[in-house]
Amino acid sequence: MNAKKPLVIVTRKLPDVIETRMMELFETRLNLEDTPMSQAELSAAVAEADVLVPTVTDRIDSKILSQAGDNLKLIASFGTGIDHIDFAAAKKRNITVTNTPGVLTEDTADMTMALILAVPRRLSEGERLVRAEKWDGWGPTLMLGHRIWGKRLGIVGMGRIGQAVAHRARGFGLSIHYHNRQRVHPETESELEATYWESLDQMLAHMDIISINCPHTPATFHLLSERRLKLVKPHAYIVNTSRGEVIDEKALTRMLASGEIAGAGLDVFEHEPAVNPKLLNLENVVLLPHMGSATLEGRLDMGEKVIVNIKTFADGHTPPDRVLETMF
C-alpha cells in the first residue's frame, strides 16, 4: 500500500468515536446517512477505495469484486461473520479480508441466554398481554411455561460463543451437551461438564433446548434441515443467534405452527431483514432484529479492531484478524 494515507470507504454509520479516529488516521469517506449502499454504490466504492469497510449486511460478492480497482487491497469487515464476502473471489484478486472476532462473544452469549429463558417462560406473550390491557390479574393456570432447571441444552457449535453460552447455562441448572466439528479440549469439556455428541442427529433427538452458535458457511447452510428438525422433540425449543441460513426457516415455521416444535427464539432470519410473515403470527416465537451483538461496548471494540487491522496492513504487516481459508 502507498505511503500516503489509504482511502478508506465505510459503508455504514459507525460510532462517532470510531469515525473520528478513522478520519485522523486515514483518508476516510463515511456514510453519514446510514442507509445501506446499493449494488451500484458498492461497485463504485470498490473501484475507488484502497480499503473497504463493509458490515455484515453488505453483500460483497464476485460481481461486486469484479469492479474492484487494482488499489483495493483490504476488506476490513465490521463484524465477526464473513459469509457476506466472496472469499474465493477476494483471494483471486489478492485482496486481504479481515473481521472482528472475539469482541462480541459475551454480548451474543447474553442474548442467547436471554432467549433460552424467554421462550419456555413465554415472556413475550406475557408482555403483549399486559400491553394489550387484557391481563385480569394472577391466576393459577395463567401463562404457564416450563422451567429450564434440569433440562438438556444442546449447543450446535462449541466455539467462543458456544462455550460462553455453556458457562451461563450451567448457572441456570441446565445439562450441557454439544456438537462441534471437532471435540473441544478435555479440560474445557470437564470445566463445562459438557457431553460431546459426534452425531448431530442423535443430539437433536435428545435435547430439550437447542442453541445454534455456529457460523454460516457452505457446510452449515440449512444444517438444521427439515429432516433434522423432524428429529427434535415436540416439547423442545430452538434458539438461534448465529445466522438465519443455518436453519431451514420455512420448515421451522411450519413445524412451529403445527406444534411439532414447542417454540423458538430467533435473533436472525434466513432472508433478513425480511421475516417470514407466518412467523409474525405465531405466539410461540420470540423475534428480535439481529441485536445479539448490539451493545455500545461491543460496537466500540469492533471499530477498534477494524482500525488496528487497517493500520497494521497499511504499515506493511499482516493484520491480526486476517481471515484464512481454513476458517471456512
Active-site annotation, residues: 243, 272, 290
Q: Is 15 helix (H, G, I), strand (E, B) or coil?
A: coil
Question: Rounded to an integer, what distance in angstroms lies between the CA atom of residue 136 and that of residue 95?
Answer: 61
> Amino acid letter at 289?
P
Report the sign of the C-alpha dihedral through residues 290, 292, 294, 298, in that order.
negative
End-to-end CA distance of the chain: 27
Positions of E strands within 113-246: 152-156, 175-179, 194-196, 209-212, 237-240
Positions of E strands within 208-326: 209-212, 237-240, 263-266, 285-287
- Max Cα separation, the chain? 72
Question: Rounded to an integer, what distance in angstroms lies between the CA atom of residue 28 and that of residue 257?
Answer: 48
Enter the C-alpha cell of residue 133. 390491557
Question: Rounded to an integer, what distance in angstroms lies between the CA atom of residue 252 and that of residue 262?
Answer: 11
Q: Say if CB 143 and CB 129 are below 8 A apart.
A: yes
